[in-house]
Amino acid sequence: MNFYTASDTGRVRTQNEDFCYASDGKLGILSNLFVVCDGMGGHNAGEYASEGAVRLMTDAILRAEEAYDPYDALSIGIEAANRTIHQRSVDDPTKAGMGTTLVAATIFNSDLYVANVGDSRLYIFASGNLRQITRDHSYVEEMVRKGLINREEARHHRDRNKITRAVGVLNDVRIDFFDTPIEEGMQILLCTDGLTGMMHDEEIAGVLQTSADVRQKAETLIRMANEKGGTDNVTVILIEV
């Protein structure tokens, strides 16, 4: 397994409120863990929330001796991060309302296990096809599912950045879980909406299907997002199985 992480502030924002974590070392019962977060909130609270979520999550998984499977470990980690970030937002007025998206993945035996809160995404690219595994928790995604707008309209909707779930905003957090078998040659992409807001899935697939190495592909995705406007922080983790 090869992987590479890349993050960039973009061409409009003044600070990077994304945060990512990637490790193929053992963490509790997990043999590897990959996490991407996109923070929100003023006065540096978004940056605090995204980095804090990763650190709190990994610490909780490391200490979770009672975890019995990957879903359990991911759930324990995300719920622990949510409780602490929410409490800190209540205790500190400068961090009121802070929160973060979170998408996490681990490869366990022959399967990929995924947890998601918010609109950061996980895709798999296999046999020439790109498939989004996660489902966005966002206002426009709800409208698309209800048939009120189409996918292209959602990309340009004025409320496209409004999310319906985040880590740390409420005392309890709702997490979506997914799993899919691992195939030889599969590529796994975790990313923030700084990438998907700038690039269509077809453009992302075009980069992943090239013969470039994992580092070159990740950096190309960052560069293309910036060339298309770079209106947000953009972060990717690319894994090749």
Whole-number Å distance between alpha carbons of 175 and 173: 6
Is the C-alpha dihedral spanning 145, 151, 154, 155 positive or negative?
positive
Residue pair 40/17 in contact (Cβ under 8 Å)? The answer is: yes
The strands making up 2-8's β-sheet, listed across from edge to edge, are: 2-8, 234-240, 187-191, 121-126, 129-132
- Judged by DSSP in three states, 229 sits in coil
Task: Return the number of other C-beta atoms located less than 10 Å from residue 125's C-beta.
Answer: 21
| Cα of 127 vs its chain's centroid, Å | 23
User: Where are the extended beta strands (E) located within the chain?
Assistant: 2-8, 18-23, 33-40, 99-108, 111-117, 121-126, 129-132, 176-181, 187-191, 234-240
> Along the 241 residues of the chain, how does pLDDT read in single tens digits?
999 999 999 999 999 999 999 999 999 999 999 999 999 986 679 999 999 999 999 999 999 988 889 999 999 999 999 999 999 999 999 999 999 999 999 999 999 999 999 999 999 999 999 999 999 998 777 776 767 677 666 666 666 678 999 999 999 999 999 999 999 999 999 999 999 999 999 999 999 999 999 999 999 999 999 999 999 999 999 999 9
Is the C-alpha dihedral spanning 207, 220, 26, 16 positive or negative?
negative
pLDDT at 151: 67
pLDDT at 176: 98
pLDDT at 43: 64
pLDDT at 157: 65
Identify which of 101, 37, 104 has the alpha carbon closest to the alpha carbon of residue 70: 104
The model scores a pTM over 0.75: yes
